[in-house]
């Protein structure tokens, strides 16, 4: 298992929640949750990201040091831990065990996402910068668990637009380029011996190709080409290194796991298929060399088991750990000792250590022990119909003490997700819990284009920013109002990234719906957005033009759907937050919107953090943002002032 891996016909009758019908006519419940300090939702975890050394003797984890998340290591059965990194400017972005003695970690500067790779011994000694190049981004291709001194990385050092693969000696820092990226390769695939054998590329701007070679001595050859809407995504090689396990939607709507023969260019077998949802995950046992699970998300994550041993392991863990969601996040090399993570909609959960030889399960740590799940709000899956007849799935979180039967005229925060080709799923969301704790119902929806619901639902979003994608959000708000849950005078909209765009679009195109809006690193101008993307996105521009719109061919539409050109329609107050070093949504996106609003005399609150990028990672910046957001929502939804 590789580490660091790292989308209106209003329903006027009663609300349908997976076949259950509820009436919303009773008076609001009067119970109130205990008010929890804002900082408790957004402070750094006590301990998180636990991993186990390959020999199973040591545990590593991230924990705060001077308000930054750093790497610690302890003996598996010991109490004290050694801090092996001492970063004070920014959190460690990710880390893993390279071998039993040495760990590798990634960090960037001020949120620029130009990650550099560093190595350090498990005792904190011999820190070494391995890819510390200015303006260069490091990606992990293969951690090579069977080759202790080497990893395979990607660097855009030679050409900022593309990543070349390198074999890196983590002891000496020596690197060998394994192939020169011709300019169109977007991903590399190694076999189980750590040999670079396949690649995914772009051809003619909108066609994806799979390239293959028999050995590293051979040249890559294209074996299959498809329009990007028709996907064949290689995950890993079969265990004889001859064929490829992939996930594909070729000749189907929903993605399914398949075996692909790169020598014939054909899919030989469909391993599992789900008629409602895309399969998006495949897992295997490196030691036993068997495929174990396929995973997909309905309203929760679901698994299909290929392997009896893996199924028995999960069933045993579920019996011991109860109703929580369970994930196996790491194991030692013999696959005898495992790190288990639990979570739910009301809990960030805990980490456990499981010894399969002795059938022992022990808790290592709670992630946020200061948050009592009994004081958290439950998140319920819901669905409604869009105006053109699509089923839109989403989640509704009501304040503690309220139920579907007793909720009327609540203040609501509408929270569209980012991406936009992403999806919301069930689990603990500190933003949602914070807003619910402050008395707001929180409404999340997987508008068209959200992933996991098949090709047709995804394609329905193409060139629909600010149009039918936004209509799906609007229809959801109207649905909540029709149900009597939402007070139509107290609805706000908040989102980040694409969700920030949707916030601005909602405030400009449907100003009558919203009493306030919070835009967090959101796009305001579709022209300038596509002109300021990171260089390594440039090979994907033709796809973006087809999915979002072409700046010349679709210029009238892009102007019509860029909120910055319609700032005169905004009626409600707006709060905008932005990271100065954001490589995805340039600070100019927020600057333009603020300037346009100030010219009209519209109330706008603007927060810029000079040491942040696409979202605030530093704890003190999170506190500033959510503290300001709390006051803003209280004032404009409840008419209250929040005191310090």
- The model's pLDDT over 477-517, given as tens digits with 9 standing for 90+, comes to 999 999 999 999 999 999 999 999 999 999 999 999 999 99
Q: Is the pLDDT of residue 2 over 90?
A: no
Report the pLDDT value the prediction gives residue 282, as an integer from 0 to 100: 97
Instruction: Give the catalytic positions in this structure.
Output: 497, 582, 614
Cα dist. 492→135, 254, 380, 570, 605 in Å? 39, 34, 20, 13, 15
pLDDT band at 33 (very low <50, low <70, confident <90, very high): confident
Q: How far apart are the first and last CA of the chain?
A: 47
Q: Is the pLDDT of residue 27 over 50?
A: no
CB 292 within 8 A of CB 285: yes
Report the pLDDT value the prediction gives residue 643, as an integer from 0 to 100: 59
Report the pLDDT value the prediction gives residue 405, as an integer from 0 to 100: 76
pLDDT-above-90 percentage for the chain: 91
CATH top class, domain 15-39+379-638:
alpha beta
Q: Is the pLDDT of residue 198 over 90?
A: yes
Q: Is the pLDDT of residue 428 over 60?
A: yes
Mean pLDDT (whole number) for 249-278: 97
Q: Is the pLDDT of residue 15 over 70?
A: no
Mean pLDDT (whole number) for 138-146: 97
Q: Is the pLDDT of residue 586 over 50?
A: yes
> What's the CA angle centered on 549, arms 545 and 553, to 5 degrees?
95
- The model's pLDDT over 203-250, given as tens digits with 9 standing for 90+, comes to 999 999 999 999 999 999 999 999 999 999 999 999 999 999 999 999
pLDDT-above-70 percentage for the chain: 95
Distance, in Å, from the CA atom of 283 to the CA atom of 460, rounded to the nearest integer, reads 30
CB 449 within 8 A of CB 411: no
- What residue segments make up the domains of the chain, in order of their start? 15-39+379-638
- Whole-model pTM: value is 0.93
- The model's pLDDT over 68-108, given as tens digits with 9 standing for 90+, comes to 999 999 999 888 999 999 999 999 999 999 999 999 999 99
pLDDT band at 32 (very low <50, low <70, confident <90, very high): low
Report the pLDDT value the prediction gives residue 23, as an integer from 0 to 100: 28
- The model's pLDDT over 284-327, given as tens digits with 9 standing for 90+, comes to 999 999 999 999 999 999 999 999 999 999 999 999 998 899 99
Strand order in the sheet with 301-305: 279-285, 290-297, 301-305
Distance, in Å, from the CA atom of 81 to the CA atom of 57, rounded to the nearest integer, reads 13
Q: Is the pLDDT of residue 548 over 80?
A: yes
**Which candidate, 621, 613, 628, places its Cα nearest to that of 111?**
613
Report the pLDDT value the prediction gives residue 642, as an integer from 0 to 100: 61
């Amino acid at each position: 298992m590789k580490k660091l891996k790292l989308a209106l016909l209003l329903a006027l009758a009663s609300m349908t929640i997976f076949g259950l019908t509820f009436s919303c006519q009773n008076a609001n419940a009067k119970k109130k949750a205990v008010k929890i300090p804002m900082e408790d939702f957004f402070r750094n975890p006590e301990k998180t990201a636990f991993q186990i050394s390959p020999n199973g003797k040591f545990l590593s984890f991230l924990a705060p040091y001077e308000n930054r998340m750093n790497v610690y290591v302890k003996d598996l059965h010991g109490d004290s831990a050694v801090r092996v990194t001492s970063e004070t400017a920014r959190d460690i972005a990710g880390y893993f065990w390279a071998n039993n003695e040495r760990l590798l970690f990634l960090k960037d500067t001020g949120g620029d996402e130009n990650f550099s790779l560093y190595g350090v011994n498990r005792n904190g000694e011999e820190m070494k910068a391995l890819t510390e190049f200015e303006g260069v981004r490091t990606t992990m291709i293969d951690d090579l668990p069977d080759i202790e001194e080497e990893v395979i990385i990607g660097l855009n050092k030679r050409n900022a637009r593309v990543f070349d693969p390198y074999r890196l000696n983590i002891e000496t820092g020596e690197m060998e380029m394994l192939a020169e990226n011709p300019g169109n390769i977007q991903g590399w695939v190694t076999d189980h011996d750590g040999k670079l054998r396949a690649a995914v590329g772009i051809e003619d701007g909108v066609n994806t190709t799979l390239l293959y070679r028999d050995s590293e001595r051979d040249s890559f050859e294209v074996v299959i080409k498809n329009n990007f809407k028709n996907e064949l995504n290689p995950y890993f090689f079969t265990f004889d290194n001859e064929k490829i396990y992939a996930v594909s939607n070729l000749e189907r709507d929903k993605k399914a796991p398949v075996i692909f023969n790169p020598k014939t260019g054909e899919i030989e077998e469909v391993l599992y298929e789900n008629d409602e949802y895309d399969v998006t995950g495949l897992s295997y046992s490196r030691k036993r060399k068997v495929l174990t699970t396929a995973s997909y998300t309905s309203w929760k994550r679901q698994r299909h088991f290929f392997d009896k041993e893996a199924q028995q392991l999960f069933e045993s863990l579920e019996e011991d750990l109860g109703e929580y969601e369970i994930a196996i996040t790491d194991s030692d090399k013999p696959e005898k000792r495992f790190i288990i993570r639990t979570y739910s909609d009301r809990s960030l959960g805990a980490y456990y250590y499981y010894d399969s030889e002795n059938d022992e399960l022990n808790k290592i740590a709670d992630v946020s022990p200061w948050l009592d799940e009994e004081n958290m709000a439950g998140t319920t899956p819901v669905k409604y119909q869009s105006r053109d007849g699509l089923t839109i799935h989403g989640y509704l979180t009501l304040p503690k003490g309220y139920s579907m039967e007793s909720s009327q005229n609540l203040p609501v925060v509408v929270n569209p997700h980012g991406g936009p080709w992403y999806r919301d799923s069930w689990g603990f969301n500190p933003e949602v819990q914070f807003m619910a704790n402050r008395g707001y119902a929180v409404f999340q929806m997987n508008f068209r284009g959200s992933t996991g619901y098949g090709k047709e639902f995804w394609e329905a979003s193409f060139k629909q920013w600010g149009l039918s994608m936004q209509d799906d959000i609007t229809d959801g708000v109207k649905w909540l109002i029709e149900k009597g849950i939402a007070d139509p005078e107290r609805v706000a909209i908040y989102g980040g990234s694409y969700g920030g765009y949707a916030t601005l679009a909602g405030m400009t195109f449907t100003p009558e719906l919203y009493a306030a809006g919070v835009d967090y690193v959101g796009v305001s101008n579709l022209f300038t957005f596509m002109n300021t993307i990171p260089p390594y996105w440039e090979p994907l521009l033709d796809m973006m033009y087809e999915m979002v719109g072409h700046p010349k061919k679709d210029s009238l539409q892009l102007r019509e759907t860029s909120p910055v050109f319609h700032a005169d329609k905004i009626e409600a107050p707006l709060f905008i937050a932005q990271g100065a070093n954001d490589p995805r949504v340039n600070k100019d996106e927020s600057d333009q919107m603020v300037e346009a609003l100030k010219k009209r005399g519209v109330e706008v609150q603007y927060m810029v953090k000079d040491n942040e990028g696409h979202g605030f990672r530093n704890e003190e910046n999170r506190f500033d943002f959510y503290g300001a957001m709390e006051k803003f929502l209280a004032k404009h939804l409840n008419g209250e002032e929040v005191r310090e």
